[in-house]
């Protein structure tokens, strides 16, 4: 203690004891390789107040605060799950509009208060059922193309009483069709609540090439038009869900997925501001959607850190003054990539661990994957187990008794800080590239994610990442559960015939009016392109026709082919 | 790489692509990069290719093996690709499929002439070894046919 000023840490009794423990630990364990989490952060065997405990009450207030107050590390609402537990938002969509409506009404009768619509891949890609190979129809979602299809899909469903979540990439024709059905029924648009789940076109460019998308400039304009229109006409609607899930499923580490998603949100906010919108007029309706991997503590820390970083960005960088603009509302989906085809029932355990990480991370709504997702589109039995998993966690496990229950853990707080640093590093790299739009345009983000996907796979190959049933603990000759049977070809043929009849029976003058209005809006940036889409849908223009006009006028966004 | 196999020379030429509607490309990108680094000549395309385009590309690029990645039921049209390859006289190109393929459908694909299906959990080395083996067999068959 001769020259205390030269020591890195003050020689408190605690530091001495910690050093002694460290020496004993190293003496008693074999030399271990450095453990790192998926985001690359080095993980120590033990955390103490020396890692995160300094600063006392003022540091607590600045970094953590209380639930419902800035910087929201401990949750965005004052009461969190004591006030209201998360929304159970399972994705559904299979077969024809009739099939979908039947399933939807079953769920609503069973007490569901939220609706989700997953359209068929043909819809995602901008086609009507009469434009693609019938073998591919209705295998992954519902085939909704026309006003008639939407009427059938929503029959008996009270749009004023449920929250609607549409997996509807731009140009948002499902929403346009739904708004027309609401208008026909006399349901005021101001009473409609829900979310456009697939409006984050940048994430589609980066990571999930299953969606129709316009060339980047057109996609950029259409999203701002959509946000502007919905904020004005359907004020309870969330027009934007910024999606980290696509990127993490495509291989981004949890820290990368969070950082890149926040960069997309910044880009969209800056685009809205450039249009002349006030941050507090649109930010309260921004929502987020994330993957929850099985890397338990890392995911908890990812969400806690993400909440804090977004609050600061919204307040300090975007200049939002309304606290509702600072709140990081998010939906979580358990990670399908973590599930295994080998010993598929084990996936129920994986989904359970992932779901708990999301709940401890403070999510607002949750989708739990069915265990057989890795075999086929989920079967009914597997979908029921996924719902039951949420019910068990909510009702039996006592997870909702205490708000942000892992706070104060030396490890979790240290990791939250370290994940925050990683996230800020990603944001700085994207800023250096000129923002998210430019980084995606150049293929930079695609390259980063590809590298992470490869690195993870190599860890699995080497056995550094054990996956039960895959590279360890294999069981010979296992029996797999049956996969979901495909839609009845007769029903699909009838659906194609019905669309043809619908198309032939339209008022040609109105149809032409709708097509012209859409093309004109595409050509004139001063007009609102989403308003024109709603108008066109009301004139009988189908989903595939809307996409074709916009593709012609604004160009299509091909993915970059890069390995 | 499978050590039991002497390396094929010139190296296998492999087309890695996706047909149909879906575009989840994590698998195709990771596998393509691994095959490339294992010394193969890899022709990689963006997703969403039409079957006639794949046939044309396979012909022009003189590939030994076509790898189709399918995560969302696009494997259902692979028998149509097999038919199109036969019609183009490209019987001696091997076709493999990787991704989410239910057991019943696997039988359907094998019956249509697909060499093998790689399911989730397949190791990259196993995939590369199998593709090299198929390429070797196809080259030998082609050599026999041409002499």
Does one domain contain both A116 and A55?
A: no
pLDDT mean over A193-204: 94
Question: Is residue A15 one of the residues assigned to a domain?
Answer: no
Q: Tell which residue, A271, A193, A194, A206, has the closest CA to residue A245.
A: A206
Contact between A430 and A438 under an 8 Å Cβ cutoff? The reply is no
Q: Is residue A432 part of a domain?
A: yes
Whether the CB of A468 is below 8 Å from some CB of chain B: the reply is: no
- Verify that A93 and A139 share a domain, yes or no: yes
Residues A280 and A354 in one domain: yes
Count of domains for chain A: 2
- Best of B42, B73, B76, B77 to substitute, by most chain A Cβ atoms within 10 angstroms, is B73
* Cα of A433 to nearest chain B Cα, Å: 24
Structure confidence at residue B4 (pLDDT): 39
A202 has pLDDT over 90: yes
- Which residues, numbered 80 to 139 in chain A, qualify as contacts with chain B under a Cβ-Cβ cut-off of 8 Å? 121-122, 124-125, 127, 132-133, 135-136, 139
Q: Is B22 within 8 Å of A337 when comparing Cβ atoms? A: no
| Region of residue A509 (phi > 0: left; psi between -120 and 50: alpha; otherwise: beta) | alpha
Q: How far apart are CA B26 and CA B41, in angstroms?
A: 19
Q: Can you give the pLDDT at residue A220?
A: 97
Residue B2 confidence (pLDDT) above 70: no
Mean pLDDT of chain A: 92
Q: Which residues of B fall within a CB distance of 8 Å from A250?
A: 24-26
What is the reported pLDDT for B61?
Answer: 95
In this predicted structure, the answer to whether residue A502 has a pLDDT above a threshold of 80 is yes
Residue A67 lies in a domain: yes
CATH number at A321 reads 3.20.20.240
Which residue, among B123, B125, B128, B56, has the nearest Cα to B93 in the 3D structure?
A: B56
Could you tell me which residues are beta bridge partners of residue A538? none
Q: Is A503 part of a structural domain of the chain? A: yes
Show me where the domains of chain B are located: 13-146
Give the separation between CA A139 and CA A160, rounded to whole angstroms. Answer: 30
Average of per-residue pLDDT across A150-166: 92
pLDDT greater at residue B88 or residue B24: B88
Residue A9 has pLDDT above 70, yes or no: no
Residue with tokens 């409506």: A101
Per the domain annotation, does A166 fall within a domain?
Answer: yes
Angle, in degrees to the nearest 10, between helices A543-554 and A216-233: 130
Query: Considering only CA atoms, which of A281, A212, A172, A204 is closest in space to residue A529?
Result: A172
Joined together, the tokens standing for residue A439 give: 């980084």
Q: Does domain B13-146 have CATH number 3.40.50.2300?
A: no
Mean pLDDT along residues A155-167:
91
Q: Give a yes or no: residue A455 inside a domain.
A: no
Assess contact for A436 and A202: CB atoms under 8 A.
Answer: yes
What residue spans of A186-331 are helical by DSSP H?
201-207, 216-233, 245-249, 254-274, 279-282, 296-312, 323-326
Q: A449 pLDDT exceeds 90? A: yes
In the listed set A445, A465, A493, which residue is the last one of a domain according to the structure? A445
Closest approach of B141 to chain A, Cα-based (Å): 31
Same domain assignment for residues A301 and A351 = yes
Q: Is the CB of B29 less than 8 angstroms away from the CB of A453?
A: yes
Q: Is residue A380 part of a domain?
A: yes
d(CA A47, CA A37): 15
What is the total residue count of chain B?
A: 147
Joined tokens for residue A476 = 């010979």
Give A375's contacts in chain B (Cβ within 8 Å): 100, 102
Token pair 């208060």 is at which residue?
A: A113
In this prediction, what percent of chain A has a pLDDT beyond 90?
Answer: 76
Residue A288 has pLDDT above 80, yes or no: yes
For A113-126, the pLDDT digits (tens) are 778 888 888 999 99
Taking CA–CA distances from B77, the nearest residue in chain A reads A135
Task: Inform me whether the pLDDT recorded for A492 exceeds 80.
Answer: yes
The CA distances from residue A259 to A164, A441, B139, in Å, are: 28, 17, 48
Distance CA A94, CA B122 (A): 29
Do A79 and A115 lie in one domain? The reply is no
- pLDDT tens digits along B14-65: 999 999 988 888 999 999 999 999 999 999 998 899 999 999 999 999 999 9
- For residue A209, give the nearest of B25, B30, B73 by CB distance: B25
**pLDDT tens, position by position, A68-118:** 999 999 999 999 999 999 988 777 666 889 988 988 888 788 777 778 888
Instruction: Give the model confidence (pLDDT) of A387-404 as tens digits.
Output: 899 999 999 999 999 999
Alpha-carbon dihedral angle through residues A291, A376, B133, B128, given to the nearest 10 degrees: 0
Cross-strand pairs, A335: none
pLDDT band, residue A374 (cuts 50/70/90)? confident
In 10 A of CB A84, how many CB atoms? 11
Shared domain check, A249 and A146: no
Range of the domain at A176: 87-198+479-557
Name chain B contacts of A469, Cβ cutoff 8 Å: 121
- Asked if A467 is an interface residue toward chain B (Cβ–Cβ < 8 A), one would say yes
**Domain endpoint, select from A423, A445, A467:** A445
Cα A86 from Cα A346, distance rounded (Å): 25
Q: Do A255 and A398 share a domain, yes or no?
A: yes
In this predicted structure, the answer to whether residue A421 has a pLDDT above a threshold of 80 is yes
Least confident of A240-249, A481-490, B119-128: A481-490
Provide mean pLDDT across the span A183-192.
97
When pLDDT is cut at 50, 70 and 90, the band that residue B103 belongs to is confident
Give the C-alpha separation, A194 to A237, whole Å. Answer: 5
- Residues A114, A66, single domain; the answer is no
* Digit-coded pLDDT (tens) for A436-445: 999 999 999 9
- pLDDT at residue A54 in the model: 63
Between the alpha carbon of residue A88 and those of residues A18, A153, A209, A345, A437, the distances in Å are 44, 21, 27, 22, 32
Q: A240-243 and B13-17 as β-strands: parallel, antiparallel, unpaired?
A: unpaired
In chain A, what percentage of residues exceed pLDDT 70? Answer: 96
Least confident of A182-186, A231-235, A372-376, B26-30: A372-376
Alpha-carbon torsion A558, A562, B1, B6, what sign? positive
Q: What is the DSSP secondary-structure string of B55-73? A: HHHHHHHT-SEEEEEESSS
Of A405 and B2, the structure prediction assigns the larger pLDDT to A405
Q: What is the pLDDT of residue B3?
A: 43
The answer to whether position A193 is within a domain reads: yes
**pTM (two decimals):** 0.91
**pLDDT reported for residue A540:** 97
Helix then strand then coil, in percent of chain B rounded to 5, is 45, 20, 35
DSSP per position, A341-361? SSSTTHHHHHHHHHHHHHHHT
A93, A150 Cβ separation under 8 angstroms: no
For range A480-491, the mean pLDDT: 77
Are A164 and A308 members of one domain? no
How far from chain centre, in Å, is Cα A5?
49
Kindly state the average pLDDT of the residues A542-550: 97
């Amino acid at each position: 203690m001769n020259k205390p000023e030269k020591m890195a840490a003050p020689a408190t009794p605690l530091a001495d004891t910690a050093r002694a423990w460290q020496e004993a630990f190293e003496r008693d364990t074999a030399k271990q390789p450095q453990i790192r989490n998926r985001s690359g952060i080095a993980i120590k065997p033990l955390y103490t107040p020396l890692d995160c405990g300094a600063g006392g009450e003022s540091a607590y207030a600045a970094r953590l605060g209380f639930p419902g107050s800035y910087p929201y590390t401990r949750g965005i609402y004052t009461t969190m799950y004591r006030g209201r537990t998360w929304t159970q938002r399972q994705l559904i969509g299979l077969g024809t509009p009739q099939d979908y409506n039947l399933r939807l009404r079953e769920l609503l009768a069973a007490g569901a208060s939220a609706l989700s619509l997953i359209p068929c891949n043909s819809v995602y890609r901008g086609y009507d059922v009469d434009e693609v190979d019938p073998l591919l129809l209705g295998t992954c979602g519902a085939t909704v193309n026309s006003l008639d299809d939407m009427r059938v899909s929503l029959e008996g469903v009270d749009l004023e009483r449920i929250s609607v979540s549409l997996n509807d990439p731009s140009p948002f024709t499902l929403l346009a069709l739904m708004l027309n059905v609401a208008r026909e029924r006399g349901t005021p648009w101001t009473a409609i609540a829900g979310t456009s789940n697939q409006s984050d076109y940048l994430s589609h460019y980066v990571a999930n090439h299953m969606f129709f998308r316009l060339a980047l400039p057109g996609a950029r304009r259409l999203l701002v038009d959509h946000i502007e229109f919905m904020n004005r006409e359907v004020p309870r609607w969330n027009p934007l869900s910024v999606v980290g899930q696509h990127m993490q499923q495509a291989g981004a580490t949890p820290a990368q997925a969070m950082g890149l998603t926040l960069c997309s949100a910044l880009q969209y906010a800056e685009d809205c501001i450039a249009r002349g919108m006030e941050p507090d007029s649109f930010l309260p309706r921004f929502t987020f959607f994330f993957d929850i991997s099985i890397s338990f503590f890392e995911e908890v820390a990812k969400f806690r850190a993400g909440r804090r970083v977004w609050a600061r960005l919204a307040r300090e960088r975007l200049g939002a003054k309304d606290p509702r603009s600072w709140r990081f509302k998010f939906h979580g989906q358990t990670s399908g990539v973590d599930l295994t085809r080998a010993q598929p029932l084990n996936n129920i355990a994986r989904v359970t661990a992932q779901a708990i990480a999301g709940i401890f991370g403070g999510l607002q709504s949750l989708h739990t994957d069915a265990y057989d997702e890795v075999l086929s589109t989920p079967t009914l039995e597997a979908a029921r187990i996924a719902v039951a998993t949420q019910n068990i966690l909510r009702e039996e496990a006592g997870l909702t008794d205490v708000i942000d229950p892992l706070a104060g853990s030396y490890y979790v707080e240290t990791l939250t800080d370290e994940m925050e640093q990683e996230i800020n590093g990603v944001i700085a790299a994207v800023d250096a590239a000129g923002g998210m739009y430019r980084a995606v345009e150049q293929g930079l983000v695609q390259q980063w994610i590809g590298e992470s996907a490869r690195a993870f796979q190599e860890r699995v190959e080497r056995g550094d990442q054990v996956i039960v049933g895959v590279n360890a603990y294999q069981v010979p000759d296992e029996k797999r559960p049956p996969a979901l049977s495909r839609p009845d070809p007769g029903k699909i043929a009838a659906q194609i015939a019905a669309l043809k009849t619908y198309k032939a029976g339209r008022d040609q003058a109105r149809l032409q009016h709708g097509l012209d209005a859409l093309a004109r809006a595409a050509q004139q940036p001063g007009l609102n392109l989403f308003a024109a889409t709603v108008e066109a849908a009301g004139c009988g223009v189908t989903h595939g026709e809307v996409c074709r006009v916009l593709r012609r006028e604004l160009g299509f966004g091909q993915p970059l082919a890069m390995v | 790489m499978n050590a039991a196999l002497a390396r094929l020379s010139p190296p296998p030429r492999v087309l890695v692509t996706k047909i149909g509607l879906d575009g989840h490309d994590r698998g195709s990108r990771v596998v393509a990069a691994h095959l490339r680094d294992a010394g193969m000549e890899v022709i990689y395309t963006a997703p969403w290719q039409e079957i006639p385009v794949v046939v044309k590309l396979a012909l022009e690029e003189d590939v030994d093996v076509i790898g189709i990645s399918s995560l969302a039921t696009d494997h259902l049209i692979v028998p149509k690709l097999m038919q199109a390859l036969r019609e183009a006289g490209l019987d001696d190109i091997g076709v493999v499929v990787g991704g989410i393929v239910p057991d019943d459908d696997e039988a359907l694909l094998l019956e249509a002439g697909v060499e093998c299906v790689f399911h989730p959990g397949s190791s990259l080395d196993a995939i590369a070894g199998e593709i090299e083996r198929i390429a070797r067999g196809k080259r030998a068959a082609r050599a026999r046919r041409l002499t």
